[in-house]
Amino acid sequence: MGLRHPKTDQIRLEDVFAALSNPMRLQVVRVLAASGPVPCGSLLDGVPRSTLTHHWRVLREGGLIRQEAVGREYTLTLRRDDLEQRFPGLLDVVLRAAAVPEPG
Q: Write out the residues near its own copies by the rule CB under 8 A.
A: 9-15, 17-18, 20-23, 26, 86-90, 93-94, 96-98, 100, 102-103
Of the candidates 43, 50, 49, 3, which has an alpha carbon nearest to the alpha carbon of residue 26?
Answer: 43
Q: Which is nearer to its own copies, 46 or 101 (CB)?
A: 101
Cα–Cα distance, 31 to 98 (Å, whole number):
11
Best CA proximity match to 17, nearest among 69, 58, 75: 58
Question: To the nearest whole angstrom, how small is the minimum distance from the Cβ of residue 71 to its own copies?
Answer: 33
Q: State the minimum distance, in angstroms, from the CB of residue 10 to its own copies.
A: 5
Q: Based on CB atoms, which residue is closest to its own copies, 56 or 74?
A: 56
Taking the complex as a whole, how short is the minimal distance between the CB of residue 88 and its own copies, in angstroms?
A: 7
Q: Tell how strand 38-39 and strand 65-70 pair up.
A: unpaired
